[in-house]
Chains A and B, each alone.
Chain A
Amino acid sequence: MNEAIQSEKTKILLIDDEDDFCFFVKLNLEKSGTFDVRTATSGPEGILLASKERPDLILLDIIMPELSGDQVAEQLMENPETRDIPLLFITAIASRQGVESQEGIIGGRQFIAKPVTPEELIAKINTVLESRK
């Protein structure tokens, strides 16, 4: 958790209370060779890690105990150190069809619906990162 993220790779922080989901997403993204992934299984832990690691993108679940994805996003926006980090919400409360029909943007926010394959996730991450360049 505390190892430094190598600078040449895209730094991703995944905040999701599903520990197994974090485990596999990390494995899959890192296997592609272009990502370094840190994971947090709660909102407060994710906020601390975002401030410390300054990732290129944060993958954020919505329904979580303690702090919801929305609340985490609010706190990240309030912090000057993390406010410019792009967020990609990854959620099980929207259907794939619903998200796809709105091109992954709901209320101005970027979304991807679970379940998602690593290819779909990587493609969406790249789209979000390219839109920020």
Chain B
Amino acid sequence: MRKESLIRQKIERNGLILIALAMVLIYWILDSLVSNQVTTRVLIVAFVLIYGIFTQTLINSRKTALEEKERAQKQLIEAEKLAALGIVAAGIAHEVKNPLAIIIQGVEYLKSSMESDALLLDVTERIKKSALRADNIIRGLLSFTRQTPIQANDVDIIPVIEETLSFVDYQIKARRIKIVRQYATGLPEARIDDNQIKQVFVNLLLNSLEAMKNGGTITISAEGLREEGDRRSLQVVIADTGCGIPESVLEKVFDPFYTTKDTPGNAGLGLSVTKGIIDKHRGKIRIESEVDKGTRVIIGLPAVSPQQNGSPAVTGGRNE
């Protein structure tokens, strides 16, 4: 796709040079054929300019049509991929959830039988957490392939973020990560499926943690934004000081199965699932990143407008 885009850029550039040359040539021919009258010269220049604009418009419309076709083809390929993946995922989910259920029941029995041994209790707790994490991955896969419909409620976003942070508390401490909170005061409520949005935040936080193997800072900010008219949105930004993402990788990070991580069990679905969930909410997600400096993920979520709940205007604020 990138190669095609480069070829198209080259064609467009060459096309523009040809148009410019053609315009000069037309001007020269016409100029040499007619008299020296000023009005005639002005008419010729106008004609040449109109010709140039017309040609450029044709090129632009052709380019738009081509891009539209490419986008449609890409969507079709992704839909086919999803359909195939859905069938595989349902089978995998059943086969993996059964052993997970056995592990969790077994671990719980061990835990209840060794109440006095702190170390063994810790060991069993870690096994249980890993089993539940595997279950989360399966759930993500199912959610992604089944396109689970959202069940949106009006929700205060801060407890959702805080609960998500508690899910990854162990990894935050283990990697000596500092968490900075920047929540605006008077935030509007978000109209979201909080369970699915928690999954989004967990995916993003795990990516940030993965990018900061030697410690760093994750800054989470939330603020209300005014959209067209009285419509509101809620912007949540998760920024890290990790290794960053190269530009060549950035354009592929939302593709299913695309991964740069070499950790076992990483299916490359985290950001695809994340984008799928945000799209279902009619929200927005974009990623800005600089290698060796860090990554910012900016998420826009629908918020409850003042007419819907009479919430106060959003004001700035800061707390860490």
Contacts and interface: CB of A to CB of B under 8 A. Distances in A.
A114 B101 contact: yes
Interface of B: 90, 93-94, 97-98, 100-106, 108-109, 112, 131-132, 135, 138-139, 142-143, 148, 151, 195
A63 B95 CA distance: 11
Interface of A: 18, 20-21, 24-25, 27-28, 31, 63, 92-93, 95-98, 101, 113-118
Nearest to A90: B101
B90 A93 contact: yes
Given A28-B108, A96-B135, A114 B151 contact: no
B98 A18 contact: yes
B108 A118 contact: yes
Contacts of A95: 93, 138-139, 142-143
A115 B97 contact: yes
B246 to A, nearest CB: 34
Contacts, number: 70
Contacts of B93: 92-93, 95
Given A21-B102, A92-B94, A98 B148 contact: yes
14 contacts: A18-B101, A18-B102, A21-B98, A21-B102, A24-B106, A24-B108, A28-B109, A31-B112, A92-B97, A97-B139, A98-B148, A113-B97, A115-B103, A116-B101
A96 B199 CA distance: 14
A62 to B, nearest CB: 9
A3 B148 CA distance: 45
Nearest to A29: B105
Contacts of B103: 115
Given A28-B108, A28-B109, A115-B97, A97 B195 contact: yes
A28 B102 contact: no
Contacts of B98: 18, 21, 92, 114
Contacts of A118: 105, 108-109, 112
Nearest to A116: B101
